Amino acid sequence: MSAPGESGREALNRVWAQPRGWRYFSEVNNTAVGLWYLAAGLGFFAVAGVLALLMRLQLAWPWMGFLGPEAYNQVFTMHGTIMMVVFAVPIMEAVAVYVLPQMLGVRDLPFPRLSSYGFWCYLLGGLLLLSSFLFGPVPNGGWFMYTPLSGPEYTPGLNTDFWLLGLTFIEISAVAACIELIVGIMKTRAPGMSLDRMPILGWAFLTVAVMILFAFPPLLLGDVLLEAERVLDWPFFDAGRGGDPLLWQHLFWFFGHPEVYIIFLPGAAMVSTILPTFCGRPLVGHQWVVVATIATGILSFGLWVHHMFAAGIPLLSLSLFSAASMAVAIPSGIQVFAWLATLWGARPRWDTPFLFVIGFLVIFVIGGLTGVMVASVPFDWQVTDTHFVVAHFHYVLIGGAIFPLFGALTYWFPLPSGRLMDETVGKWSFWLMFVGFNVTFFPLHVLGLLGMPRRVYTYPGGLGWEWLNLTATIGAFVLGAGVAVFFANLAWSWKRGRPAGHDPWKAGTLEWAGPTPLTDSGGASVPRVRSLHPLWDQPAEMAAAARGEALMCRPTTHGRETLRVSAVSAEPQQVIQVSGPGWSQVAAAAATAVMFGAGTFHLWGVAAAGGVVTLALLTRWAWHSDRQPPMARVDIGQGIVVPTYAADHSSHAWWAAVVAVLFDGAAYLALLSAYVFLWLVNPVWPPPPWEGRIALGDILAGGGMLAVAAVLAHAGAGLHRRGRHWALPAGLGGAVAVAVAVAWTGLSTLTAADLGPTRHAFPATVWVMALYTLVHLGVATLLALLVLARQAAGLVTPVRRMTVMMTVLAWDFAAFTGLASMAMLVLWPATGGGGGICTW
Amino acid sequence: MVSLRDATLVVAAPGLWFGYFLLVYGVHALACRFLWPSGPVLAAVTALTAAALAAEAWPLRRLARIEPAGFYRAAGLGLGALSLLATLWVAATSWMVPPCG
């Protein structure tokens, strides 16, 4: 709402103004957070690049003594980990956080504080991982951290723990980004931007966010199990006590392979964005590129075992995953043909972003072809663990991600800076990178075919490997010089580049609708979209929107706000009030870092204190959520009136809760899969000491109580919605009481059954399943207490009840997964003819 | 107007393929553990998946009436065709290779 005499634009500038000075870092808006993400990501990329140069120096000539074997192990582990986990995935999230709101035509994504929390966790996690260089125990087990090498027996120091620490933070930031992107893309777009009018970049990030939703939970579970094995001696991966090292490989690669596509799909979408602009025509086969993007995303989940072809798995498994690995070439091929068709007959402008796109096409196609080669099991057996594989995945990842990313950074540089990067220097950086890259990595194909293994710190002379290695090292420094020139251009052009003006590339998508640099509010008004390329097809309407003559041209609820629309057709549904600057997300991230950092050093008291502070800060955060502005409905312009609050299944908050539960559910499915896997590899499951140790009646009673708790929560929420205020404390209070009883009886039963978790993988897995349920009952209990406190403070009413809906969802999930775990324990071993843990 | 349910239907086919893929992998693992014959189960699962993919494509016809541009229908049919291809591709593998070698 504007102050008297204040124009709409002045009011927008006031509510969206970024804090100045050191308070700038309390900002949560995507235009600030996205830039920080990008800067941090590029910083980590530079560190990992220097590590790569150290490796190439060491391998330049036989018997080099520049790095010893231990240092080499540390350097290649950190290079891989930083590049894959700390740089590649987060930098794509960074592009999404920065560019998507502009491209989708909205002022902000729905959960800016969550994005900011994700960023601070990411930054602290990356720095903690790097701090291992200061403290000494640098991770040294490879970026995949295979067991048993990474287990307590072979890596007794903190090396693996630092790796797990870094990954924990990346997982937190990935979950935050996944929720923000799925809900943001589905629920906050410009009116009229139905899914068929959504740019490819939106589709790619939607696909990628869904992939994160299902790919990261198995890694999260693997991390928990590995840390439990290292700290508590629970033998999930110890073959001598019923575990299996291959379990780690399955969990890791179920994340690790889709991760390649999590990195590649946004890169491909950047190409699909830049190419049409420079060709001056729409992307040929837009819908087929959408199809290919979705198909690639889902197919990528059926490929994980191709990283384990040499691990000794059954023949049919090899064949199944080989077939799936080849099949993924089809959707990738569709995209390549769409790009070639767009290029066909066009007269493109050969500016730097376009050069990077062409570089991508050349390099990625070569990487794709060698990908089909290594998808063939006999060929893979020959080249596995050789430099051929190193060459292949660098062609795919640098070609598929770095070249498009650098092209995209050049392309979108005017948005934050208002300037263009220097074209001559840009072309120099491209050619140095392109030539340097190929001189580095093409010889590695030959080295691999000659038999040079990867992950060796040196090699003897006389094998014909010398000049190829020397060539690769020279190429690496040329590539490094290209990257350095690019960074210098970035820094120089930020202040001194040529002013970009309006839409410098003559693009068709919405991020170029306003002036450059972007204003804090993201635009004077929100346009109505009627085309896939609104700037090409609706120039007059876009110009009017840039003048502030479309929707939401002034704040209507006293604060920062964005528009929620229907998921498919993008019709306006609600004005959402979003968070403004504050420090709670920074403090919560710092407390989270203290909790996990101290835990890594086994400082349990400090870790517990960090945990309590984290919980307190998150509770405070939750307390101030579910806001209901005083005005029930507002006019957003052109006669459109929408509500300012909604607590139903179309709400963005509900969608976020569902996405979070799906993530949690995927982790739970991974846990059940781990249980089944261990059952398969053990000849007897459960082992004789634990057969018939628990009475069936005890399990049935526990299951019954869980169901009662969920029913009580539902009943309380349902009656409260009908105006019976007393029902909420009665229902949720009853559920909490039952949960306490379940926890008590469950722990008593497991203790009485003598399920010592260090003795065998079976009791360890049973304990993890039980603790999973207990933790979720604990979360549901905390949410119930929060809701009751909010009700007492007048913040929960039969209308304002989103937190109630979320709490009931938490009870449902805790009860469902608890019941599923009990059913698994009772029924699964019995189907295999074993005795089972229960006495019937 | 295209509903969220329609849009979900459009992207359902690759999900069906993924379910099929995991099922084949799981059936094979169980069959090898207990020395069950997996052929009939795999044949039934493949036939069911192919039928499900065909059945999933049928309601997409409705989209032609409510969506003149044809985006969702084409995307749904494209994903269905790719999924069917991937299903048959995986099925062929499981017929040609001895399961427990």
- pLDDT attached to residue B96: 79
pLDDT band at B56 (very low <50, low <70, confident <90, very high): confident
- Domain assignment present for A730: yes
Chain B residues close to A329, C-beta within 8 Å: none
pLDDT per position as a tens digit, A514-573: 888 998 888 889 999 999 999 999 999 999 999 989 999 999 988 899 999 999 999 999
- pLDDT attached to residue A840: 65
- pLDDT attached to residue A834: 56
Chain A residues close to B99, C-beta within 8 Å: 314-316
Question: Can you give the CATH number for the domain in which A694 is found?
Answer: 1.20.120.80
- Domain assignment present for A782: yes
A417 in Cβ contact with A497 (< 8 Å): yes
Rounded to 10 degrees, what is the CA torsion of A373, A376, A382, A385? 80
Instruction: Say yes or no to pLDDT of A131 above 90.
Output: yes
- pLDDT attached to residue A831: 56
Strands of A626-704 (E only): list them.
633-635, 641-643, 694-695
Q: Return d(Cα A177, Cα A111) in angstroms, integer.
A: 10
For the record, the structure tokens of A276 come out as: 């049409």
pLDDT band at A312 (very low <50, low <70, confident <90, very high): confident
Task: Map residue A499 onto helix, strand or coil.
Answer: strand
A648 CB within 8 Å of a chain B CB: no
Measured in whole angstroms, the distance separating CA A24 from the mean position of its chain's CA atoms is 25
pLDDT per position as a tens digit, A487-523: 999 999 999 999 999 999 999 999 999 888 998 888 8
For the record, the structure tokens of A181 come out as: 């992107």
- Domain assignment present for A446: no
Spell out the residues 6+ positions from residue A622 whose beta carbon is closer than 8 angstroms to its own: A786, A803
Instruction: Say yes or no to pLDDT of A5 above 90.
Output: no
Instruction: Say yes or no to pLDDT of A833 above 80.
Output: no
pLDDT per position as a tens digit, A652-677: 999 999 999 999 999 999 999 999 99
Q: Return d(Cα A670, Cα A674) in angstroms, integer.
A: 6
Give chain B's mean pLDDT. 84
- Domain assignment present for A58: no
Query: How far is B50 from chain A, CA to nearest CA, in Å?
Result: 17
For the record, the structure tokens of A528 come out as: 């109505």
Name beta bridge partners: A695: A839
Instruction: Say yes or no to pLDDT of B15 above 70.
Output: yes
- Domain assignment present for A29: no
- pLDDT attached to residue A195: 93
Mean pLDDT, residues B20-43 taken together: 82
Spell out the residues 6+ positions from residue A136 whose beta carbon is closer than 8 angstroms to its own: none
Instruction: Say yes or no to pLDDT of A102 above 90.
Output: yes
- pLDDT attached to residue A646: 92
How many domains, in total, are found in chain A?
1
- pLDDT attached to residue A2: 58
Pick from A55-59, A167-171, A425-429, A489-493: least confident: A167-171
Task: Map residue B82 onto helix, strand or coil.
Answer: helix
pLDDT per position as a tens digit, A113-129: 999 999 999 999 999 99
B18 CB within 8 Å of a chain A CB: yes
A115 in Cβ contact with A33 (< 8 Å): yes
pLDDT band at A1 (very low <50, low <70, confident <90, very high): low
Give chain A's mean pLDDT. 93
- CA nearest to B6 within chain A: A568
Query: How far is A292 from chain B, CA to nearest CA, in Å?
Result: 8
Q: Return d(Cα A55, Cα A72) in angstroms, integer.
A: 7
pLDDT per position as a tens digit, A718-765: 999 999 999 999 999 999 999 999 999 999 999 988 888 999 999 999
What are the φ and ψ backbone dihedral angles of B76, each rounded to 5 degrees?
-65, -45
What is the complex's ipTM, to 2 decimals? 0.86
- CA nearest to B95 within chain A: A316
- pLDDT attached to residue A830: 61
What are the φ and ψ backbone dihedral angles of A561, each rounded to 5 degrees?
-145, 155
Domain membership of residue A690 as a residue range: 659-839
Among the listed residues A238, A379, A237, A365, the one whose alpha carbon sits nearest the alpha carbon of residue A306 = A379
A640 in Cβ contact with A551 (< 8 Å): yes
Q: Return d(Cα A216, Cα A223) in angstroms, integer.
A: 11
A568 CB within 8 Å of a chain B CB: yes
pLDDT band at B57 (very low <50, low <70, confident <90, very high): confident
Q: Computed from CA positions of residues A77, A79, A83, A85, in that sequence, does the dihedral angle turn out positive or negative?
A: positive
Pick from A314, A319, A320: CB nearest B32: A314
Helix (H) or strand (E) holding A783: helix A761-792
Mean pLDDT, residues A281-291 taken together: 93
- CA nearest to B73 within chain A: A287
Are residues A291 and B78, on separate chains, in Cβ contact within 8 Å?
yes
Spell out the residues 6+ positions from residue A555 whose beta carbon is closer than 8 angstroms to its own: A1, A2, A11, A12, A15, A561
- Domain assignment present for A820: yes
- CA nearest to B75 within chain A: A291
With a pLDDT cut of 90, the percent of chain A lying above it is: 84
Are residues A196 and B72, on separate chains, in Cβ contact within 8 Å?
yes
- Where do we find the tokens 């007794």? A156
Q: Return d(Cα A176, Cα B10) in angstroms, integer.
A: 27
A257 in Cβ contact with A304 (< 8 Å): yes
pLDDT per position as a tens digit, A776-817: 999 999 999 999 999 999 999 999 999 999 999 999 999 999
Pick from A146-160, A192-206, A210-224, A820-834: least confident: A820-834
Instruction: Say yes or no to pLDDT of B68 above 70.
Output: no
- pLDDT attached to residue B62: 77
β-pair type (A561-565, A694-695): unpaired
- pLDDT attached to residue A386: 97
